[in-house]
Structure 1
Amino acid sequence: MRSLFLFLLLLNVLYALWQWQIGGWRFADDVPAQNAATTVAAAADDGLDSRPATPPPQSQPVAVEQGEAPPALCVMLGTFSARAEVDQLQQRLLAVDVPAELITREVVTTTDYWLVMAVSGGSQGALARLSLLQERGIDSFVITRGRLAGNLSLGVFSQQEYAAARQAQLEAEGYEVRIEAVEKSRDQYLLQVPPQARRLLDQAMLARLRKDFPAMQRQYQACDGVAKARNIP
């Protein structure tokens, strides 16, 4: 009985050793495969790491266009139609150390429509043609100034429709005339006070000036010199 027990125990030990050897052989067979997989993965990782790293995209600096600073505003005192009046106001301001520059602006008041007949031969030709027209009862005169000087005018009208109607009558009589728009303008005067002197024109001073110059108005506008300079290409 004891011998049988020892035999079975020895048999179990041998069976266990046999199983271990088989498992060890299989483990040994699996190790190269695992090592190979590990080697391939490591090589892949090394391949990725060996490539030059792509730098992250850098944000390009965006150029921010800064708009031009708004022009400084001057004080405009006016508007005056008489030069003598604006000269008096300028002297008043200069007397209290308020710089004021005279600004002259040409303003179109009305537009007339002239019937113009072109003539040749200079002044003698114009006078000869004028004499002929007047003999036939056609009102006319020689234009002596402006861009139409040297031609004859056969009428001046305040509305273009009237000028066109008279033109049709003259052309029916055999006279060739054209319509020219002639603007009438006059000068207006203002005083420009620079921005740095605006604080000197307080309400008390403006009230005193308005007593002597009732037509004076105050406006804030772009300085006349700055506006002209900005228009230079």
Structure 2
Amino acid sequence: MRWIFFALVFANLLLLGVFWQQQTLAPQPVPGQIEVPDDSRRLQLVSELEQPLQALRLPAGRKSEVRPMCYVAGPYNDELDARHLLARAEALGLDGRINRVEVATEEPSEYWVHVPPRSSRAEAMRILKELQQRKIDSYIITQGDLAEGVSLGLFRNKTSAYGLQEKVDGFGIPVDVRVMHKSEQEYWAEIDQVSQLNDKMRERIRAGDANISWQQVACGVSAPANTK
């Protein structure tokens, strides 16, 4: 019976050894490792895609608008003179147009006597009532940079305007005088084909108009800034 006992012990040790060997050979999962299923997406080249990629579109308003440049010739005080220059340009196969510009001069035309803008409409109304009680024509200004101020009128005579200012100042009401300048019209001829207008071509089109100049501006702009 002893040999049966030793045979059973040997058999158990043999099975334990085989089981231990299988456990050590089996791959152990690595902590933090993610198993990727077989049906997951794989990396593809652009050329392998069934549909082409859509171009990225910028939101509306992000596009920078670049305006083309044009040549302008002027200024002319008479529109007819500007049209004569444009006719010479058109005779050379160029296209253009006449732009009319309103330009302020240094010569005063009127004097606007007014109370500067108040902190509120109620404050402006208070001053208005006080002026009307003193028989001074006035009204509240509702628009522009002088809104919530009080107008005391426009005067062509400088002495009358500053005389009223001094009178109202005597009531303890602050008053300013804004000088309104005369304006005049000037005309500019605008030519589209900038690349064709070299120095020689511009001089030919200008002809005898010695008091004008050529300048480059964005097309559609009436005239260069600070023409006066």
1:189-213 Cα shifts (integer Å, max 9, x gaps): 111111xx33443332322344411
Q: 2:37 and 2:195 mapped to 1: Cα distance?
A: 70
Partner residue of 2:91? 95
Partner residue of 1:166? 163
Partner residue of 1:105? 101
> TM-score normalized by structure 1?
0.50
Letter of the structure 2 residue corresponding to residue 104 of structure 1: R
What pairs with 1:71-150 in structure 2 (closer than 5 Å)? Answer: 71-110=67-106, 112=108, 114-115=111-112
Partner residue of 1:156? 158
Q: Sort the Cα spacing of 1:167 and 1:154 in 2 relative to 1 into closer, same or farther, 3 A.
A: farther
Q: 2:154 and 2:183 mapped to 1: Cα distance?
A: 22
1:41-67 Cα shifts (integer Å, max 9, x gaps): 47x59x975857765899x99946473
Partner residue of 2:189? 191
SS at match of 2:157: strand
Q: 2:185 and 2:170 mapped to 1: Cα distance?
A: 41
Give the unaligned 5+ runs of structure 1: 1-21, 118-150, 227-233
Work out which of the two has the higher radius of gyration on C-alpha atoms and give 1 or 2.
1
Is 2:218 aligned against 1:222?
Answer: yes
Give the unaligned 5+ runs of structure 2: 1-8, 45-52, 115-152, 223-228
SS at match of 1:171: helix
> TM-score normalized by structure 2?
0.51
SS at match of 1:89: helix
SS at match of 1:215: coil
SS at match of 2:64: coil
Q: 1:152 and 1:89 mapped to 2: Cα distance?
A: 40
Partner residue of 1:6? none
SS at match of 1:224: coil
Q: 2:165 and 2:216 mapped to 1: Cα distance?
A: 50
Letter of the structure 2 residue corresponding to residue 107 of structure 1: V
Letter of the structure 2 residue corresponding to residue 186 of structure 1: E
For the aligned residue pairs, the C-alpha RMSD in angstroms reads 4.5
Number of aligned residue pairs: give it: 160
The question of whether the paired residues in 2 share the 8 Å contact of 1:111 and 1:181 is answered with no
